């Protein structure tokens, strides 16, 4: 195992947990320097990463798009968190997070650009640490800039999976 911290989940019984662990975010789930035509394209790309990682069925991406039509997933400060609706849980195999880094950004809402598109798929509350870290990021614009400019996907993985007991932004 590398020096980086990961959040692990298991969808197996207690006796199998030591043998069946999965990362909800790893470097292969981060697309650096991505480009998207619009927010629909960005959501599709974030969803495709979740499909490729084995987190969701293709139908989940349709749920992410449907959710966006009902209510914007733009958080502000250049971050959007597209995710499915409750009815889409049947398309989630295990919790996962994808990150689309868009250095040029895309218009998410009129006058608002998203630079980090963080796709979420969760079975239970396993994504809470990532969301907690996102809330912290919203309070630190300089860190968002660092993540938007990162050239190593592990910088993003480490920051989004950092435990509450860890302090500092770098």
pTM for this prediction: 0.81
Write out pLDDT tens, residues 15-63: 232 223 357 899 999 999 999 999 999 999 999 999 999 999 999 999 9
Please give the torsion angle defined by the CA atoms of residues 52, 54, 60 and 61, in that order, rounded to the nearest 10 degrees: -10
Residues forming the active site: 83
- Mean pLDDT value across the chain: 82
| Domains parsed from the chain with CATH numbers | 23-161 (3.40.930.10)
Residues in the chain, total:
170
Residues 6+ apart with CB under 8 A from 141: 77
Q: What is the DSSP string of 39-93?
A: HHHHHHHHHHHHHHTTSB-THHHHHHHHHHHHS--EEETTEE--B--GGGGGGBS
Q: Find the range with the poorest average confidence among 40-49, 115-124, 161-170.
A: 161-170
The more confidently predicted of residues 8 and 73 is 73
Please count the other Cβ atoms lying within 10 Å of the Cβ belonging to residue 147. 19
What SS3 class is residue 148? helix
Write out pLDDT tens, residues 149-158: 999 999 999 9
């Amino acid at each position: 195992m590398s020096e980086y911290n990961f959040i692990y989940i298991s969808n197996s019984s207690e006796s199998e947990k030591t043998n069946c662990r999965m990362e909800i975010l790893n470097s292969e789930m981060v697309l650096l320097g991505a480009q998207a035509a619009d927010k629909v394209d960005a959501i599709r790309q974030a969803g495709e990463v979740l499909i490729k990682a084995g987190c969701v069925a293709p139908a989940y991406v349709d749920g992410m798009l449907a959710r966006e039509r009902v209510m914007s997933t733009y958080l502000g400060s250049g971050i959007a968190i597209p995710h499915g609706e409750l009815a889409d849980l049947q398309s989630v195999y295990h919790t996962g997070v994808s990150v689309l880094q868009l250095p040029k950004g895309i218009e998410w809402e009129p006058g608002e650009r998203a630079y980090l598109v963080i796709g979420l798929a969760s079975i239970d509350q396993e994504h809470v640490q990532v969301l907690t870290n996102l809330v912290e990021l919203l309070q630190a614009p300089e860190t968002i800039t660092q993540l938007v400019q990162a050239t190593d996907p592990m910088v993003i993985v480490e920051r989004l999976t950092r435990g509450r007991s860890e302090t500092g932004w770098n």
